[in-house]
Homo-oligomer: A and B are copies of this chain.
């Protein structure tokens, strides 16, 4: 079944909005077991819309059209369809009720394709899709299939390295596809089963095998086998183990705390964090020893360790993590260059600090990778992947 999506509206081709309607429609189709072959967007011009409707009518079996159904002068989708169909009035149109607005939609056939016309206002479209369009599709095509997707969150590998570690996947699992999405510095690896052919049980078991195969090859770089973010996974581990966390941030400037508190329910395990840019704050708030700072400087494993232990004691938390490093653009030196960070981890049974050097020449990217590295150190400790030292 070939499915196309057509979005109409000047706001899309002028770049005023990203086309979120198309993303929602794709998701709905995926849930029906249909995959969308193509998305097209054009502005509010009768000729353009009419010509693309004609093209689609010969290529696709189903086309979901949004936009241009309202009462104003830029609402030209219905006239465009009439022009494409070469008729003034479509007598075989079935009405789609608009539960959230005034302009109704409709569906009808042209050439090989069944067209659904919906409003462009996202809330109206969403409701019409769920209440009207999906039931028609289910009934017409007896759809109860599904695309299966597994998501692995990977940290600590570049996209190309992840790709080469997974070489051989397609030979091993010919019916499945791999997808890679980079959300720096994390990669989401997707394992996709586009069409369930046998039973759902067989399909699920195939997906489990493929997931295990991929996780084995990506080793301990898989943060979550369920698509959780690093902060979500750390939160899940802390909650499961009944542990609490405090954070001391220098170069990451509050970013770790913000990532941790983006997770709903984080108040269950996150107690306190201190962003200590100045040496004074490190001494006064975290009880870092003045001698440590004098002997080694702020960017040093010894300082990181005292920061982690200091914040943990201050907050009465089970774990303390810390960062001190050089995000740039200024502040670097030959011994302590931009991109260098010391990360501390302190707990009842752990007390360590590590130094990492990244070669990114961008303050925001350095903050981001430093923050992920710190959370990942804690994650590996919580999962037993890290040997305490």
A22 at interface, CB cutoff 8 A = yes
A329 at interface, CB cutoff 8 A = yes
Number of identical protomers: 2
| Segment at the B interface, from A24-32, A108-116, A210-218 | A24-32
A107 at interface, CB cutoff 8 A = no
A253 at interface, CB cutoff 8 A = yes
| Segment at the B interface, from A85-93, A277-285, A377-385 | A277-285
Q: Are B43 and A261 in contact (CB under 8 A)?
A: no
A274 to B37, CA, bound (A): 50
Q: Are B40 and A13 in contact (CB under 8 A)?
A: no
Instruction: For the complex formed, measure the closest distance between the CB of A319 and the CB atoms of chain B, giving whole angstroms.
Output: 15
Q: Are A10 and B190 in contact (CB under 8 A)?
A: yes
The 8 A CB mask of A331-369 against B (1 = contact, 0 = none) is: 100000000000000000000000000000001100100
Given A10-B192, A275-B273, A280-B316, is A363 in contact with B264 using a C-beta cutoff of 8 Å?
A: yes
A134 at interface, CB cutoff 8 A = no
A208 at interface, CB cutoff 8 A = no
Instruction: For the complex formed, measure the closest distance between the CB of A219 and the CB atoms of chain B, giving whole angstroms.
Output: 17
Shortest Cβ distance from A147 into B: residue = B14
Q: Are A261 and B277 in contact (CB under 8 A)?
A: yes
12 examples of A-B residue contacts, CB within 8 angstroms: A12-B39, A13-B35, A14-B30, A15-B22, A72-B160, A121-B184, A257-B258, A264-B328, A265-B330, A272-B276, A274-B274, A278-B315
B-chain residues with CB within 8 Å of residue A72 when the two chains form the complex = 159-160, 162-163, 178, 180
A123 at interface, CB cutoff 8 A = yes
Instruction: For the complex formed, measure the closest distance between the CB of A104 and the CB atoms of chain B, giving whole angstroms.
Output: 13
Shortest Cβ distance from A271 into B: residue = B278
Given A38-B42, A159-B71, is A11 in contact with B181 using a C-beta cutoff of 8 Å?
A: yes
A73 at interface, CB cutoff 8 A = yes
Q: Are A26 and B40 in contact (CB under 8 A)?
A: no
Q: Are A177 and B74 in contact (CB under 8 A)?
A: yes
Instruction: Given contacts A12-B26, A39-B40, list 13 more A-B pairs with CB under 8 A.
Output: A10-B177, A10-B192, A16-B180, A18-B22, A19-B39, A72-B163, A102-B158, A253-B270, A264-B363, A267-B278, A278-B315, A280-B316, A285-B285
The 8 A CB mask of A162-203 against B (1 = contact, 0 = none) is: 111011011000000111111010000010100000000000
A196 to B181, CA, bound (A): 41
A13 to B192, CA, bound (A): 13
Most buried by B among A25, A26, A314: A26
Shortest Cβ distance from A331 into B: residue = B267
Q: Are A314 and B285 in contact (CB under 8 A)?
A: yes
A315 to B7, CA, bound (A): 49
A12 to B273, CA, bound (A): 38
A41 at interface, CB cutoff 8 A = yes
B-chain residues with CB within 8 Å of residue A267 when the two chains form the complex = 277-278, 331
Q: Are B24 and A15 in contact (CB under 8 A)?
A: yes
